[in-house]
Chain A
Amino acid sequence: MAEEVKLFRTWSSPFALRIVWALKIKGVEYETIFEDLSNKSPSLLQYNPTHKKVPVLVHNGKPIAESYVILEYIDETWKETPLLPEDPYEKAMARFWAKFGDDKGCSLVFTSIFWGVFVKEGKEQEEAMVEAMENLQFLEEELRGKKFFGGERIGFVDLALGWLANLISILEDVAGLKIVGEDKFPLLSTWMKDFADSPIIKDNWPPRDKMIAKFQALRDAKLAAAASK
């Protein structure tokens, strides 16, 4: 029976990119359905009634939601080029680092950078920057002795944190400040370049000019909202 794989996503979501990368790394053919979150399709609402969010993977009609749940599903279903290590302890460590950078729950890296540094100004931004630096330092140390978080090749944690390799420079351009400096974070800076230039990864970034416009608008809106309080 032919596999039918569909991915519901938005053009810009860095978290849906994780799924794109995973599917392509594993050589899985799939169809993309781009969603407009202000006008969600009936299909999306049917496949993810609980959260009504993207990304959602639909495999032979069966939906899976939540990006890390999807990633683990992909890794378990298409076993070539494994993303997670075999060893249970190494696997636990990979899950830990992925969660550390996640956008939800324990959202240290993303929260401090995006909701802290990017959408604030002045003293609030300075304080958020300190927190962001601390979080990035943990990642810097985790890279010691490794090319990728997954070791010699890209793995689960690289896909989880991969948004950093593209979005950071966009946020830096829009906010006009350096977040991941080469002097402070040599390993992380190198990893960002190596990851962004890797085959498959480099062909799938969203258009930079569109991203700059989107995040400029987002920052302006957030700052305006804060000023009017």
Chain B
Amino acid sequence: MADEIILLDFWPSMFGMKVRIALAEKGLKYEYRDEDLFNKGPLLLEMNPIHKKIPVLIHNGKPICESQIIVQYIDEVWKDKSPLLPSDPYHRAQARFWADYIDKKLHLLGARLWRTKGEEQEANKKEYIECLKLLEGELGDKPYFGGENFGFVDVNLMPYFSWLYVFEIAANFSIEAECPKLITWAKRCMEKESVSTSLPDHQKLYDFFLQLKKWHGIE
């Protein structure tokens, strides 16, 4: 029986991007549906009644919510191709730990970066860069966080790099000097088709960001 896979998503969402990358890594065909978050469709409300959020993966009619949970589900169901999590329990724990760190820290700090100004923004920038440096330390000399192969942490971090372009402009900073290894890592990841086809064009993302600022009443 052919698998029916639908992804309810919103193109600028970092969480949605993770799922797109995972699906592409596994070479899966799916139907992509962009949701209007101001006017959520009945399918989204039916499939994620508790949080009413994207992304939602619908596999043969059954919904899975929360991007981390979805990526692990994809990895477990289609386990024969491009495994994202390592097989050793300790390494799996480390991968989950760093994915959790990325979600917790970077997401919050990134949001703060563009919503603050002046001294507060400077402090947020500093903290953001420190987090990236910590991640850079974790990467070390490996080509990917997953080691020789692109893995779970790489899937989780790349979407933030997509938004980093926007944050650098919005908060007037560059991580090139501070985190050169991460820049190299990001370029390496973008060479993968699964990544480059899953992430939005920088300019389009920046235009969306300008809209987002307007909605939030921020200049």
Q: Which residues of A contact B (CB under 8 A)?
A: 50, 59, 62, 64-66, 68-70, 72-73, 76-77, 88-89, 91-92, 95-96, 99-100, 104-106, 138
User: Nearest CB to that of B79 among chain A residues?
Assistant: A88
Q: How far is the CB of A99 from chain B (nearest CB, A)?
A: 6
Is the pair A76, B92 in contact by a Cβ cutoff of 8 Å? Answer: yes
Contact B66 A106 (CB under 8 A): yes
> What are 23 A-B pairs with beta-carbon distances under 8 A?
A50-B134, A64-B93, A66-B96, A69-B93, A72-B93, A72-B96, A76-B89, A88-B73, A88-B76, A88-B77, A89-B59, A89-B64, A91-B72, A92-B69, A95-B68, A95-B69, A96-B65, A96-B69, A100-B50, A104-B104, A105-B104, A106-B51, A106-B66
**CB-defined contacts of B104 to chain A, threshold 8 Å:** 104-105
A157 to B53, CA, bound (A): 22
Report whether B97 and A64 are in contact in the complex, using a CB–CB cutoff of 8 Å: yes
Complex contacts, A77 vs chain B, CB 8 Å: 89
Chain A residues lying within 8 Å of B94, measured Cβ to Cβ, are 64
Smallest CB-CB separation from A142: which chain B residue?
B50
Q: A92-B70, A96-B66, A104-B104 are in contact. List 13 more A-B contacts (CB 8 A).
A: A50-B97, A64-B90, A64-B93, A65-B97, A66-B97, A68-B96, A69-B93, A72-B93, A73-B93, A88-B77, A91-B72, A96-B69, A138-B50
Q: Which residue among A65, A66, A88, A95 has the maximum number of chain B CB atoms within 10 Å of its CB?
A: A88
Out of A73, A88, A105, name the residue touching B103 (CB < 8 Å).
A105
Q: Is B192 an interface residue (CB 8 A)?
A: no
Shortest Cβ distance from residue B66 to the other chain A in the assembled complex, whole angstroms: 6
Cα A138 to Cα B65 in complex, Å, equals 15
Per-position binary interface string of chain B over residues 72-106, scored 1 when its CB falls under 8 Å from any chain A CB and 0 otherwise = 11001100000000000110111011001101100
Contact of B92 among A62, A68, A72 (CB under 8 A): A72
CA gap between A128 and B59 in the complex, in Å: 35
Report B125-162 residues with CB < 8 Å from chain A CB: 134
Q: Is B188 an interface residue (CB 8 A)?
A: no
**Is residue B62 within 8 Å, beta carbon to beta carbon, of the partner chain?**
yes
Residue picked from A50, A70, A138, most chain B C-beta under 10 Å:
A50
Given A69-B100, A105-B104, A138-B50, A95:B72 Cβ within 8 A: yes
- Interchain pairs with CB closer than 8 A, number: 62
B33 smallest CB distance to A (angstroms): 20
CA distance A68 to B104 in the complex (A): 14
Chain A residue, CB-CB nearest to B96: A69
With a cutoff of 8 Å between Cβ atoms, the chain B residues found around residue A91 in the complex are 72-73, 76
Least CB separation from B75: chain A residue: A88
Query: From residue A142, how far is it (CB to closest CB) to chain B in Å?
Result: 10
Q: Report chain A residues within 8 Å CB of B97.
A: 50, 64-66, 69
Closest to B62 in A: A89
Chain A residues, Cβ within 8 Å of B59: 89
Chain B residues, CB < 8 A from A69: 93, 96-97, 100
CB distance from A207 to the nearest CB of B (A): 31
**Is A73 a contact of B89 with CB atoms below 8 Å?**
yes
A88: B residues at CB distance < 8 A: 73, 76-77
> Which residues of chain A are near B77, meaning CB under 8 Å?
88
Q: For the complex formed, measure the closest distance between the CB of A56 and the CB atoms of chain B, giving whole angstroms.
A: 11
Tell me the smallest distance from the CB of A55 to a CB of chain B, in Å: 13
Closest 4 CB pairs of A and B: A76-B89, A88-B76, A73-B93, A92-B73
